[in-house]
Structure 1
Amino acid sequence: MQTLKHYSLIVLFLLLYSCNVSPQAIDYGNDGCHFCKMTIVDKVHAAEIVTNKGKVYKFDASECMINFIQEFDTNEIKLYLSNNYTEPEILIDATKATFLISENVPSPMGAFLTAFKDKSDAEKIQTEKGGKLYTWDQLLTHFNNK
């Protein structure tokens, strides 16, 4: 009976651990981009996807994440995350972010794509640096039409 309780606790622990659907910290300078295979070093433009089962895919730029999801079953994705321009290393919900494409704000893969948690911050940088603002859905359409 004691052995059964022991195995039950192990199984319960494994189930709880394996169902953890949350972001993981990016280890800058060590983690590689799942799409382009470059080492992730840019603390402003990194991105991450978390699947419904908790698998994490890390990217050196939001454009790599967008290119990746064009080849992935998006029904399996729970979280789309991008780093916030005004708070480097802070992942935000990409589906609620405002994105700026400005040639005056370079990103690692050359799409000049930057995410902002607050639209007002994006508008301020747009005023300073130029470019065009996008919502998540507009951004996906933009990349699909390229």
Structure 2
Amino acid sequence: MKIGKGISLLGIVTLGLVSCSEAGPVAIEFNKDQCDNCKMVIEKAGYASELVTSKGKVYKFDDIKCMHMFEGDNEELAQNAKTYVTDFKTSQFIEESKATLVQGGAIKSPMGGDTQAFANKADAEEAAKKLGASLK
């Protein structure tokens, strides 16, 4: 009887800790998930982005431009939300505020935002030079 209660208590504590953990980006199912702004299927990992609300709801986007448009159209929802962009070099999510963005030149993103994000500033500078783009 005591073992059963101990296991139940452990499960409740674990559930409580998981539910209190900070929400972050979730994996995108490419060629299946849709952009929450333009409704196109998300195909290219290097341009994907996500907005995570203070309540943990995740919105997925096929282009940084779509995420920014969504934020503008949903200001209350976007308030206190965290935004994540994909490091173009590694395809890993990083906080947008910590990324160096490269825009223009030969970059062609799904919705015409023509922006790539990099976790490392040196990688961003190299890409900008190679693509005739500029740091944003």
Quickly name the TM-score band, shorter chain normalised: 0.7 to 0.9
Q: Does the CA contact (< 8 Å) of 2:104 and 2:132 recur in 1?
A: yes
Which one-letter code corresponds to 1:49 in the other structure?
A: L
Q: How does 1:1-146 map to 2 (within 5 A)?
A: 19-20=20-21, 21-71=23-73, 72-73=75-76, 74-77=78-81, 79-88=82-91, 90-134=92-136
Distance 1:23 1:47 in 2: 9
Distance 2:38 2:20 in 1: 27
Q: Residue 5 of structure 2 aligns with which residue?
A: none
1:105: Cα distance to partner?
1.5
1:96: Cα distance to partner?
1.2
Provide the secondary structure at the position in 1 that maps to 2:93.
strand
Q: Does the CA contact (< 8 Å) of 2:63 and 2:113 recur in 1?
A: no
1:16: Cα distance to partner?
5.3
Structure showing the higher strand proportion among its residues: 1
Distance 2:11 2:119 in 1: 40
TM-score for the superposition, normalised by structure 2: 0.82
Give RMSD over aligned pairs. Answer: 2.4
Which one-letter code corresponds to 1:76 in the other structure?
A: N
TM-score for the superposition, normalised by structure 1: 0.76
1:44: Cα distance to partner?
0.6
Q: Residue 4 of structure 1 aligns with which residue?
A: none
Unaligned 5+ runs, structure 1: 1-7, 135-146
Q: 1:110 to 1:70 in 2, by over 3 A?
A: same
Deviations 1:99-136 (A, max 9, x none): 111230211101211111111111001111112111xx
